[in-house]
Amino acid sequence: MVPSSAPVRRVVLITGAASGIGAATARRFVREGWQVVLNHLDGSQSDAAAQIVALATAPGQRAIAVQADVSQDADCVRLVQAAIDTFGRLDALVNAAGISKMVAHADLAGLTTEDFQRIYAVNTIGPFQMTRAAAPHLKAAGQASVVNISSRAGIAGSGSSIAYAASKGALNTMTLALARVLAPEVRVNAVCPVLVEQGFVERLAPESFAQRREHQIKVTPLHRIGHPDEVAEAIHWLTGSASMMTGAIVELDFGLHLNAV
């Protein structure tokens, strides 16, 4: 009797996968049995990435960590190639890498040209370069998916700085454009969470985070603050189950948009 071949495990590449939403997303896909390529920026994140890699223990499952800077096009190409060299295919891309600078919106002098260029390089150009590098392989896989991690700041013009909000607004627009040009083989969607725990605001500005947390709990209809695992759940659903959705900008905001009446 000829044994049946093992089922093909789908492959996902996640940028910014060593912390916050990216790390939660990587853990979620590992739990579901995917082959996972985790991207991290530098050596300071190697241990965190290695801990997630070690979770991939199902028979035939593997995860790898690859250091790369998504603002550098050559690194994006190398990162995608690492996925193909290791697993031979790519079914999903999650663009989670992101940066910001905490500057009050009224402080127009607090942002420089260099701040805008640096933030756009990671938050907007990085996802474009990653998607461009991954597109041929995603199309070859068929029924593939890209999910961009945006922010409600990109819809409301809010958030940690004007530069950050602008970069996420541009990412939302780019999501629509890519959804058109990569269809029908690849779906492209974005998630726009409000403030979540374990994110860059909490790391960079604990006092500001505490104030924003209190305000969000007060003004959202669900009186909640988010957790990275909740965002990861939405990302996983968009990737693997939301077969009717492309070009969607999904607000994960505990109903905050309902206040705009």
Catalytic residue among 29, 164, 209, 254: 164
Q: Which long-range contacts (C-beta less than 8 Å, at least 24 apart) are formed by 218-225?
A: 219/256, 219/259, 220/194, 220/253, 220/254, 220/255, 220/256, 221/254, 221/255, 221/256, 221/258, 221/259, 222/254, 222/255, 223/254, 224/254, 225/194, 225/195, 225/196, 225/197
Tokens of 101: 């600078």
Three-state DSSP state, 64? strand
Nearest to 228 by CA among 149, 173, 175: 149
Based on the residue annotation, tell me whether 164 is a catalytic residue of this protein. Answer: yes
Is 99 strand, coil or helix?
coil
Q: Which active-site residues does the annotation give?
A: 164
